[in-house]
Amino acid sequence: MKHMVTLPQGAVVPALGIGTWHTAETTIPRQRVRESAALRAGISSGMRLIDTAEMYSDGESERLVGQAVAAVTAPVDNPVIKRGSTFLSRSDLFLVSKVYPWNAGRGHIFDSCKASLKRLGTDYLDLYLLHWRGAVPLAETVECMEELVEQGLIRGWGVSNFDVADMEELWSLPNGDHCQVDQVLYHVASRGIEFALQPWLTQHGVATMAYCPLAQGGFLSTNGHSLFHDPTIVSIAAAHHATAAQVLLAWVIRNGSTIAMPMSSTARHTQENAKADEVELTSSDLAAIDKAFPAPTHKVDLDTQ
C-alpha cells in the first residue's frame, strides 16, 4: 500500500486496515465463510492491519480473525509449505485487540490477553488497547500493559475512546506516554475530534485509529442522510472513477497519521475498500467536502455511536 502510518515506537502500518465490529454475530456457516473470505481478501490486498476486540461477538470475532490468519500464514518451521508458496508470515500482519475496561486491571488483564491470543491463534498482539475507560485506575492499567510488553505477549499498547482530558491524565502517569494510538469514531459526518483531540494526538506523536470510517454503511451520525449518496461525495467519486466508499476512506487517511479501519462482510467490498489507497483527493475535493461537512468550530463531546 502507498499510504502508511508510522507509530510512535517505529512500527509502520497500512493506513487502511480491517475492522471487525459486528462480524461473527451469526452461527450460520455460509455467513462465516463469507466473512472469513472478506478478511483474507483484505489481507491479500495489502490491508495487513486487523482490528478486533474481546467484546466483539463475545470473542467470536477474534476467533474469526484467527481462522483467516491461519489460512494465509504458513508455519515458519515447514520449508515444504513455504517453498514456492504465497503464504505470509505472522510478522507480515499487524493484529490489534482490545480489553474490556472491567478486565483492564491486575486481576483480569493477563487472563484476558491470553484468552484473546488463544482465540486469535497467535502468541503475541502487535497492539492491545483499553477499549474505553472504566473503574480500574488508569495507572494500574498502564502498569499491566507495560508488564504484558515485558512478557512478550504484546508489542505495544494504546487506548480507545479517550478524549483530551483522558489523554492528558494518561500522559501524567509513569510510562503513559508509551501509548501508541487512540482509536475513536471518525468520518466526514463526525469530525468532532478535529477541534481539540486530533491536534493533541498529533502534537504528542500519537496515531489516530478511526473506527466506523464509513459511518456503518453511510448512516451513522448522519441523521438518516446516506453518505454513499451524498451529492458532493458522489461527484468527487465520479471525477476519480472511484466509489463513494473509496472517497470517504481516502478522506479519513488524507493527513498521513490516521488509520482507517472499515468493516466489510464480503470479499468484493473489502477489495473495493483497499483500492481507496489509490485515490488522491485534490485541494478542491477537500474544500468541497469541508463545505458539505464543515469542521467543528468548538469543542464537542467525543462521538461514540
Q: Are strands 181-185 and 258-261 parallel, antiparallel or unpaired?
A: unpaired
Examine residue 302 and state whether it is found in any structural domain, yes or no.
no
Q: What's the number of domains the chain is made of?
A: 1
pLDDT tier for residue 83 given thresholds of 50, 70 and 90 = very low
Predicted confidence band of residue 218 (pLDDT cuts 50, 70, 90): low
Calculate the average pLDDT of the chain. Answer: 93
Strands 12-14 and 4-6: antiparallel
**Overall average pLDDT of the 154-161 stretch:** 98
Please indicate, yes or no, if residue 301 is contained in any of the structural domains.
no
29 band by pLDDT with thresholds 50, 70 and 90: confident
Which triple of cell numbers denotes residue 209? Answer: 485509529
CA distance 290 to 46: 29
Does any domain span residue 108? yes
What is the per-residue pLDDT across 87-100, written as a single tens digit (0 to 9) for each?
899 999 999 999 99
**For residue 111, what are the domain limits?**
14-292
pLDDT for 84 equals 45
Asked if the structure places residue 304 within a domain, the reply is no
For position 134, what pLDDT does the model report? 96
Name the least confident of 9-13, 161-165, 292-296, 300-304.
Answer: 300-304
For 83, half-sphere exposure in the C-beta direction (CA atoms, 13 angstrom radius) is 3
Give tens-digit pLDDT for 232-242: 999 999 999 99
Q: Is the Cβ–Cβ distance between 110 and 148 less than 8 Å?
A: yes
Tell me the sheet residues that pair with 50: 18, 95
| Structural domain contains residue 303 | no
Whether residue 220 has pLDDT greater than 90: no
| pLDDT of res. 75 | 63
**CATH number for the domain that contains residue 93:** 3.20.20.100
For residue 182, the cross-strand partners are 159, 208
pLDDT value for 82: 47
Higher pLDDT, 301 or 77: 301
d(CA 89, CA 86): 10
Residue 32's pLDDT is what? 87
Taking only Cα atoms into account, the Rg of the chain, rounded to an integer number of angstroms, comes to 19
pLDDT, tens digit, for every residue of 168-199? 999 999 999 999 999 999 999 999 999 999 99
In a domain, 298, yes or no: no
Residue 197 located in a structural domain: yes
Cα–Cα distance, 285 to 214 (Å, whole number): 18
Position 263 in a domain: yes
pLDDT of 68 over the 60 cut? yes
Check pLDDT > 70 for residue 76.
Answer: no
Q: What is the DSSP letter of 176?
A: G
Phi, psi values for residue 87, rounded to 5°: -70, 150
CA–CA separation, 177 vs 282, rounded Å?
A: 35
Q: Rounded to the nearest 10 degrees, what angle do helices 138-150 and 109-120 cross at?
A: 50
Is it the case that residue 210 has pLDDT exceeding 60? Answer: yes
